[in-house]
Chains A and B, each alone.
Chain A
């Protein structure tokens, strides 16, 4: 992460060498092609010729072309919006490419991890490429990592990383459960005969709303508030701190937490 340097006492950073920039461009390409290969190419190869016709083949090729163009131009919108949409186009045109018979839990985890790696690494690499090419002209910058974190910030960053990880796990599990879990597919076929696609569309919409609500309330809001140093959050933390000093954490709290954990374990044991 780069941060503007305020003193300006050090010498300006040298522009990133061409070799390094080429490696970063290649990294974007490799990450993008990785998701295209695992999400579309491998299923397309294993499906019959009649499923993947000329039209679908054209849509399949449009993804890498978009990726190449985005990398060449170092264009954020092309890489982070147009390319993922281009990946979805063949899947929408031929749903059998991403059906329940294609994905096992492990292959789905692989595709989800590939997508997350691409979406996280690409903005970072684009930022490095831009800051590197403009380093000689703009104000110098310095890595935040040069400055040691206090214990409080290490703890915060650990929590932020945990939240970011969970924000990736939640939608992946929900999408897999609804669209790819064999048991759920069987339940849907049994309970919604003749209206399977409509039921899937409705439940998909409900899941999307559920996830957007969860993401906004429990993942995005705390991160934004803490990063901005929101005065209301600071006040809330200070209020909690005062309460902790005054009363400590009461025994009942631990009882409820243990009860919640036991009930969750019971639920898991009953079903598996």
Chain B
């Protein structure tokens, strides 16, 4: 499937800092989600199941945002 993209006159410009920013942020968020999964395991072993489930979903949300940012970092603006 081919999609033709119309771009504006100033679209060839991409700030290089922004690309690296998205990449670094994606990496930090994906790694940061590991903190929530780690805490999820800790709460599970303390029989605090509700907290563990909540932390697991927060971990899912954070890793999801990280993955979306990684996708944004891949976008070419030219």
Contact A218 B5 (CB under 8 A): no
Besides A159-B26, A234-B3, A261-B29, 16 other CB < 8 A contacts?
Answer: A155-B74, A162-B27, A166-B27, A169-B34, A174-B37, A177-B38, A177-B41, A203-B41, A207-B41, A237-B74, A238-B3, A240-B71, A244-B77, A245-B7, A245-B8, A261-B32
- Tally of A interface residues using CB under 8 Å: 47
Contact A184 B32 (CB under 8 A): no
From B32, B39, B73, name the one whose CB has the most chain A CB atoms within 10 angstroms: B32
Determine the chain B residues whose CB is within 8 A of the CB of A183 once the complex forms.
42
Contact B42 A218 (CB under 8 A): no
A233 nearest in chain B by CB position: B71
Distance in Å from the Cβ of B60 to the closest Cβ of chain A? 8
The 0/1 profile, CB within 8 Å of B marked 1, for residues 184-199 of chain A is 1001100100000001
Q: A155-B23, A218-B30 are in contact. Are A237 and B44 (CB under 8 A)?
A: no
Interface of B is mostly: helix
Choose among B26, B46, B56, B75 the residue that contacts A241 (Cβ–Cβ < 8 A). Answer: B75
Choose among B29, B31, B39, B46 the residue that contacts A260 (Cβ–Cβ < 8 A). Answer: B29
Contact A184 B45 (CB under 8 A): yes
Q: Which of A52-67 contact B (CB under 8 A)?
A: none
